[in-house]
Amino acid sequence: MIKKFTLGNPINTEAVVLKADSHSVDTFPFEHRIEDGKFIFEFSMESSDIIYGLGEAPRGINKRGWIYESFCSDDPFHTETKSSLYAAHNFLMMQGSKNFGIFIDFPAKIRWDIGYTHEDKTVVTIDGTDFDIYFIDDNKPIDIVKEFRYAIGKSYIPPFWAFGYQQSRWSYPDETAVDAVIDGYDKANIPLDCVYLDIDYMERYKDFTVDSEKFPDFAGYVKKKKEQGIHLIPIIDAGVKKETGYKIYEEGLINDFFCKKSDGPVFEGGVWPGIVGFPDFLNKEVREWFGSKYKILTDMGIDGFWNDMNEPAIFYSTTGLENALNKAKSLEGENLDLSKFFELKDTFTGLSNNPADYSSIYHNIDGKMVCHDKVHNIYGANMTKAAGEYFEKEFGKSKILMFSRASYVGAHRSSGIWFGDNHSWWSHILLNLKMLPSANMCGFLYCGADLGGFNENATRDLVLRFLALGVFTPLMRNHAALGTRNQECYNFDNSDDFKDIIEVRYRLIPYLYNTFCKASETNDMIFRPLAFDYPDDKLARECETQLLLGDECMICPVYEQNVNGRYVYLPEDMTYVKLSGTNVETRFMEKGIHYIDVALNEVPLFIKKGKKVPLCKPAMRTSLLDVENLEYIEG
Amino acid sequence: MIKKFTLGNPINTEAVVLKADSHSVDTFPFEHRIEDGKFIFEFSMESSDIIYGLGEAPRGINKRGWIYESFCSDDPFHTETKSSLYAAHNFLMMQGSKNFGIFIDFPAKIRWDIGYTHEDKTVVTIDGTDFDIYFIDDNKPIDIVKEFRYAIGKSYIPPFWAFGYQQSRWSYPDETAVDAVIDGYDKANIPLDCVYLDIDYMERYKDFTVDSEKFPDFAGYVKKKKEQGIHLIPIIDAGVKKETGYKIYEEGLINDFFCKKSDGPVFEGGVWPGIVGFPDFLNKEVREWFGSKYKILTDMGIDGFWNDMNEPAIFYSTTGLENALNKAKSLEGENLDLSKFFELKDTFTGLSNNPADYSSIYHNIDGKMVCHDKVHNIYGANMTKAAGEYFEKEFGKSKILMFSRASYVGAHRSSGIWFGDNHSWWSHILLNLKMLPSANMCGFLYCGADLGGFNENATRDLVLRFLALGVFTPLMRNHAALGTRNQECYNFDNSDDFKDIIEVRYRLIPYLYNTFCKASETNDMIFRPLAFDYPDDKLARECETQLLLGDECMICPVYEQNVNGRYVYLPEDMTYVKLSGTNVETRFMEKGIHYIDVALNEVPLFIKKGKKVPLCKPAMRTSLLDVENLEYIEG
């Protein structure tokens, strides 16, 4: 049963599509109060209760024992003590002494103290008094999720080829670089479907432009690549470069389409192109305008995009930088003591994503000026909506690949997400795994992390182990940052090991795509915590290194360096399958604790008794897959 | 067999006490070459070979799969992709197809590519051509360690009371704060032996001063605390505040005791007190002078110290800051493009521990000016030596507690170390565990990490699980940074759980101190990787979450949140012991894989068959322990 509680006049985020009657929050089932303009509610937890939710967020599948914040943040250090990442997914669910779910539809900050201050208490603080809360009561966690997902509408389904293996880097700036990647994979006989164009393909980082020195005939090049079976996926940033003669900026300016400062002028922030204007995506007219600009690239044959920097990320504002420079000037010649030194240093380090800058931004929502603070968490989602609405109108469903960095519930209907700028850390294999069921709960099915890790240098074994998890994630993309080691598979010793892993992905694509579409259709999850299916099994309840996949499988990636395998817990008898290239080895295993050997070129998978998983033959492109002739591995 | 190879004219680091004949590096057993003034050698590894060593360093017990650098670094982010921490412990050891150890006695940078560039190759690059290398060849890893340890001399043994539980925070600035801590522990009936004084006890951060407003009668106060059984442990920083009238600075200046810039004047860096001079600890006369200053505090009853900031950490140099301010000034009024913006930002963020500053520092070694770059890694060790030599002369052995942040092999004879500014991250429980055997190999026996984590906020369960590992580490200290949650045990809900953990420590002190002294006496390790004792056991070989302790035990802390226990691998039959307060529960367990339940107030321990571990009764202070009447748990 889903029940809606409303306080004040909520901003319409369009997260929920279900029409539901509003009840007064006075009847909201948890202890609550209003303090300093904030709505606070709390509930207690027994020690064995599990709290799920918050979608793309730091830490575990079980969110207990931390304070999280809903606040879309461009933060590339996904360490354990962060409170937010790029998304705001305000769904929480308890399994245990009581089973229920809560969705808070509110686009500003929310603080979730889930057993941090007191281990047995969750305290949620909504930073305002205008919101809807949906409360969902059911027996089983999966049913609570399905009811929530029904309320928020069906999840985005990408084109089939988006399940192919994808290679990215900041950046492959020109034709030569892109060709080298395709050539490298082809020569190593490793399948590949997409190559990404990070910011350097553009002319001076201007959205919807292509640098004609790097790509003299972009449309022709895109066509040629498509003939090779390769999709090029360009990045689109939220900010529009301020430049005289740049048509999109000038259109935005004339039409009053950019976010403003309270006192009238356009808010100017520095991002990749230098100073930009931020399109006011909360305004429908702006969305239509910006969405239609994607046509410039689709007309050249592009059929996939990634939307970035849309939290929005702001390196500095002109005002902030001016203040910092003035501060530096005022200290000239002074004998700085330590506090003055740190004040100065902090002024410069604090220029990026500065709260004061966000507070100075204003949106035009239905003719009313609204401070950015009140709607921060739906800015990125509305950029995605701008594109999604255009694509669906122009091309229909499942034709264009799109995923975004920032997101809010509702964006799952028109887009996927990737988990942002992670690191080449072993711990980020597990972080990737843990985010999958949490994202699924919130409607985001097409998702994945940067395999091999984005920031810093990866080791060969890390990339292999990361990819072996990525075999199962809908988005299977290897991506690495400027200045890091070349992370393309063919650049490592003995690339056959990589071929063995990625071929397994291609063999599984019919199964994975089918599981994906079914999950979207039935509001189901692709990845479930073991506790969903085995609520009374103590070891299953606390397991955060394995996931159930569809109705058939359990996955359990190796996530440590210098090991030959891992411990795995089987909550029931299963068949252990080792996949490597076209090799399939199966072995029956009994319920219980086991150690499994997993070589660097192997993908471990467990299949439940009586279930079967189809495999096709591998191919170098998804378009070459023979999805009619399948063999089955039986559990 | 230990063999010494020499190239050029090595700087005498005093790391090795063994007199050994020098052989020419031409006969060094590995492929080697000199390139651009660097000595490079390499050896290959089979896939099952384990590489140990590097003491206090990032990542695993098995160091394979990364590039490390010997370069003492003040870096408070101990993430997986760091190459250095605070120490330079140049010992490496292979176990597998061949067993050998290598110690490079060289005080400048060394780069260790241990299977990063190519998985099967270790390439070591010594940044110079004046060094000694010791090569140790033996059958068993522990024998290699013992030969190395014999060569470098016996490890520091602290006073007995240094095994008591210790509470620290940045900062308890005054009597009231310190009293509140002692009172908090006493009221909660939780044992405690030491309270730390971080930088704020000093007068304007001046070494060997005490702020008389905060401590009006310091000697009297120290005495009063000692009557309560509590030792106060003040911090000493490397840099000496530049201040007219501050005797120690003026003495240093008159006597030419500070490090210089190449062109003559004292090198001025900014640290806690603002501008400081760095005593030139590489000069024997300076060491004697600085060491004798500790007398100011020992005369007031102090009997323990921690030496900090001695990498040395430099927040900024006067030159660096001037340049940064000038750069800011020159950009005034300019429309900054992105590269200029980042250049400016990086100028300010890069002010701290700047390589250019280090390169501009000069030492006077036996009358010769030597650039800091050539001796960076022994600066901190020589600060410690300054104190250690004074203490031994004045008080004899094992009378004064001392440990340092920066270190080099050799400092282990006069001091312990702590593992620096870690985080309240779950992953840092394991990092702590992994450093223990590595530090032991290099002679550092008295060591430990900041329990509960120094930086950022800790959760109650994290502190409990961290402490349950800390029960076994010679230094058992809870320490937390300015601005973080109060991390003293009595500040959390239900402090009885903390009492249960810390009482276990006190019950084990007779066993732990005895094991410690024996290890120092016999050049043994306290903590060994499982692979040392079970070289042919596949699961033991790759285990990095458990350690052997002494001849009797195996430890296996819980290191994940929201779990009721953990998997453990028993390489032989053992007795599982759950310790909690005065409770002891034992259960026989067979060799193999098990899941053990461990509640938040329990300390898990395994005892080998036929071995026994003594326990005394807990007490509120080590001085109150009855070490005569022991009961034994038998394995």
Bridge partner residues of A131 (DSSP): A7
Provide, as residue numbers in chain B, all residues whose Cβ is less than 8 Å from the Cβ of A455.
Answer: 81
At B556 the three-state DSSP class reads coil
Looking up tokens 């100011």 gives: B296
Identify the burial level of B584 via C-beta atoms within 10 angstroms of its C-beta, where 0-12 means exposed, 13-18 middle and 19 or more buried.
Answer: middle
A508-517 per-position pLDDT tens digit: 999 999 999 9
Helices (H) and strands (E) in chain B, counts: 15, 39
Question: Parallel, antiparallel, or unpaired: how do β-strands A66-70 and A87-88 relate?
Answer: unpaired
Q: What is the mean pLDDT of residues B46-61?
A: 98
Which of A335-339, B181-185, B548-552, B626-630 is predicted least confidently?
A: A335-339
B583-622 per-position pLDDT tens digit: 999 999 999 999 999 999 999 999 999 999 999 999 999 9
pLDDT at A332: 77
pLDDT at B277: 98
In this complex, do A329 and B332 lie within 8 Å of one another by their Cβ atoms? Answer: yes
In this complex, do B316 and A567 lie within 8 Å of one another by their Cβ atoms? Answer: no
Nearest to A316 among B341, B455, B460 (CB): B341
Give the nearest chain B residue to A62 (CA atoms). Answer: B562
Q: State how far the Cα of B451 lies from the Cα of B462, in Å rounded to an integer.
A: 9
**Nearest-CA distance A76 → chain B (Å):** 13
* Residue B73, preceding peptide bond in cis (omega within 30° of 0): no
Backbone φ/ψ region at B33: left (φ over 0), alpha (ψ -120 to 50), beta? beta
Name the percent of chain A lying above pLDDT 70.
Answer: 100
**Nearest-CA distance A330 → chain B (Å):** 10
ipTM over 0.95: yes
Provide, as residue numbers in chain B, all residues whose Cβ is less than 8 Å from the Cβ of A59.
Answer: 561
B411-457 per-position pLDDT tens digit: 999 999 999 999 999 999 999 999 999 999 999 999 999 999 999 99
In this complex, do A561 and B118 lie within 8 Å of one another by their Cβ atoms? Answer: no
Q: What is the mean pLDDT of residues A424-439?
A: 98
B520-532 per-position pLDDT tens digit: 999 999 999 999 9
Nearest to A119 among B332, B337, B493 (CB): B493
**Is residue B337 over pLDDT 80?**
no
A116-142 per-position pLDDT tens digit: 999 999 999 999 999 999 999 989 999
User: In terms of Cα–Cα distance, which of B266, B210, B198 is closest to B237?
Assistant: B198
CA atoms within 13 A on the CB side of B86: 26
* Residue A604, preceding peptide bond in cis (omega within 30° of 0): no
Compute CA distances B7 → A322, A563, B27, B371, whole Å. 55, 37, 11, 20
User: pTM for this one?
Assistant: 0.98
In this complex, do B564 and A538 lie within 8 Å of one another by their Cβ atoms? Answer: yes
Q: Which of the residues A77, A82, A204, A348 would you substitute to probe the B interface, choosing the one with the greatest number of B C-beta atoms within 10 Å?
A: A348
Compute CA distances B371 → A26, B85, B260, B368, whole Å. 72, 22, 10, 10
In this complex, do B59 and A561 lie within 8 Å of one another by their Cβ atoms? Answer: yes
pLDDT at A283: 96
Backbone φ/ψ region at A523: left (φ over 0), alpha (ψ -120 to 50), beta? left
Q: State how far the Cα of B377 lies from the Cα of B578, in Å rounded to an integer.
A: 42
B220-231 per-position pLDDT tens digit: 999 999 999 999
Provide, as residue numbers in chain A, all residues whose Cβ is less than 8 Å from the Cβ of B542.
Answer: 562-564
Q: Which of the residues B204, B244, B335, B345 would you substitute to probe the A interface, choosing the one with the greatest number of A C-beta atoms within 10 Å?
A: B345
In this complex, do B542 and A561 lie within 8 Å of one another by their Cβ atoms? Answer: no
Give the nearest chain A residue to B66 (CA atoms). Answer: A459
pLDDT at A302: 98
Query: Phi, psi (5° rounding) for residue B589?
Result: -135, 140
CA atoms within 13 A on the CB side of B567: 18
Nearest to A542 among B60, B423, B562 (CB): B562
Compute CA distances B193 → B168, B372, B397, B413, B585, whole Å. 11, 39, 20, 24, 27
In this complex, do A80 and B331 lie within 8 Å of one another by their Cβ atoms? Answer: no
The sign of the torsion formed by the CA atoms of B290, B296, B297, B303 equals: positive
**Nearest-CA distance A424 → chain B (Å):** 8
Nearest to B425 among A79, A331, A594 (CB): A79
Band of the pLDDT at B334, cuts 50, 70, 90? confident
Q: What is the mean pLDDT of residues A288-314?
A: 98
Q: State how far the Cα of A622 lies from the Cα of A193, in Å rounded to an integer.
A: 7
**Is residue A533 over pLDDT 90?**
yes
Nearest to B81 among A321, A457, A493 (CB): A457
User: In terms of Cα–Cα distance, which of A9, A224, A191, A225 is closest to A106?
Assistant: A9
Band of the pLDDT at B75, cuts 50, 70, 90? very high
pLDDT at A330: 86
In this complex, do B275 and A460 lie within 8 Å of one another by their Cβ atoms? Answer: no
Provide, as residue numbers in chain B, all residues whose Cβ is less than 8 Å from the Cβ of A545.
Answer: none
**Is residue B333 over pLDDT 80?**
no
Nearest to A329 among B273, B329, B594 (CB): B329
Per the CB < 8 A criterion, the answer to whether A436 and A547 are in contact is: yes
Bridge partner residues of B32 (DSSP): B41
pLDDT at A262: 85
At B371 the three-state DSSP class reads strand
Provide, as residue numbers in chain B, all residues whose Cβ is less than 8 Å from the Cβ of A62.
Answer: 561-562
pLDDT at A341: 87
**Alpha-carbon dihedral angle through residues A431, A433, A437, A440, given to the nearest 10 degrees:** 90
Q: Mean pLDDT over all residues of chain B?
A: 97
Nearest to A274 among B65, B337, B564 (CB): B337
Give the nearest chain A residue to B61 (CA atoms). Answer: A562
Q: State how far the Cα of A51 lies from the Cα of A441, in Å rounded to an integer.
A: 12
Q: B533: Cβ–Cβ under 8 A, 6 or more apart, which residues? A: B540, B548, B571
The sign of the torsion formed by the CA atoms of A381, A387, A388, A393 equals: positive
Q: B197: Cβ–Cβ under 8 A, 6 or more apart, which residues? A: B171, B172, B178, B232, B233, B234, B235
Provide, as residue numbers in chain B, all residues whose Cβ is less than 8 Å from the Cβ of A315.
Answer: 338, 341-342
In this complex, do A349 and B348 lie within 8 Å of one another by their Cβ atoms? Answer: yes
Q: Mean pLDDT over all residues of chain A?
A: 97
Band of the pLDDT at B339, cuts 50, 70, 90? confident
Element (H, E) at B101: strand B100-105
Which of A139-143, A438-442, A586-590, B337-341 is predicted least confidently?
A: B337-341
**Is residue B340 over pLDDT 90?**
no
B112-131 per-position pLDDT tens digit: 999 999 999 999 999 999 99
**Is residue A462 over pLDDT 90?**
yes
A43-63 per-position pLDDT tens digit: 999 999 999 999 999 999 999
In this complex, do B423 and A593 lie within 8 Å of one another by their Cβ atoms? Answer: no
Q: B168: Cβ–Cβ under 8 A, 6 or more apart, which residues? A: B195, B196, B198, B233, B450, B477, B478, B479, B480
Q: What is the mean pLDDT of residues A477-498?
A: 98
pLDDT at A505: 98
B253-275 per-position pLDDT tens digit: 999 999 999 878 999 999 999 99
pLDDT at B2: 97
Per the CB < 8 A criterion, the answer to whether B607 and B634 are in contact is: yes
pLDDT at A428: 98
A297-307 per-position pLDDT tens digit: 999 999 999 99
